[in-house]
Amino acid sequence: MGPQEQPDAAAVPASVCLPTDSTETHRFRAMVVDDDLLIRKLATAFLQNENVDVVAVSGGAEAVLRVRDEVFDCIMIDWEMPSPNGLETIQILRRRAYLGKIVVCTAHDDDGVRQICIDAGADDYLQKPLTKDVIAQFVALMRVHPLTSSRAGEGLDAEIAGYLGALDRRCHAMARACAKKEMAALSTLADELNEASQEYGFSPIARIAQGVIALCGREHSYEDMVNQLRKLHANCQAAKLTA
């Protein structure tokens, strides 16, 4: 279902989709992808009212180009668009190691629509028509519940802050190694993250990093690794010293 292109170094997004920080002051940045101008304007107005920075584009090809050079926390994408359609665009983005959330906004209401979207690489789907309530659901999907250190209060606050400050860089490097299919480098990076996460009290991140190491050591599909890195990215984005 969709183009079968393979990732290459030139195709790796410069930002690898990683948000610039995960603090409460972070202003979310979203991209709206829809070939309907009215929908783009409506979504932009609603999202800006929710204090979200918005970039709106008219098709999948432009979305892929923008993700290559810019950082987006989340993408809202229409299903029915000229080629590449929404699902094909999602597949391209995932093959290029885009780890952020993708939500399909569609008028389809058939049984199984959500699973079709997830199988293509989306995180969820929302039902058109576009309303303030639908936008509120989209914004809620962008939010993350904080993941706190089990070692807070042990006199390690400065060290934990340094660990947290390096998470985006670590995820960035791992996503690049994945997109370039450099499994040895990816395994080394995951091992370093695993050790640091255990040391500073973030066992959920450590467990996912261990999963990345395990995948590096056996036959796996590219999609399996990207999905594992997506889980890792989501947990790293949620990591904080305290709630």
**Domain 9-142 in CATH 3.40.462.10:** no
Domain range summary for the chain, segments of one domain joined by +: 9-142, 147-240
Cα 56 from Cα 164, distance rounded (Å)? 31
Q: Nearest CA to 77 among 23, 3, 154, 141? A: 141
Write out residues in the chain with pLDDT < 50, as ranges. 1-25
Cα 134 from Cα 128, distance rounded (Å)? 8
The alpha carbons of the chain give a radius of gyration, in whole angstroms, of 18
CA angle, 101 as apex, 98 and 105 as ends, to 5°?
115
Q: What is the pLDDT of residues 124-160, one digit of tens each?
A: 888 888 888 888 888 887 776 788 999 988 999 999 9
Cα 175 from Cα 86, distance rounded (Å)? 22
Task: Tell whether the torsion through CA atoms of 195, 199, 200 and 204 is positive or negative.
Answer: positive
pLDDT (0 to 100) of residue 211: 93
pLDDT (0 to 100) of residue 2: 41
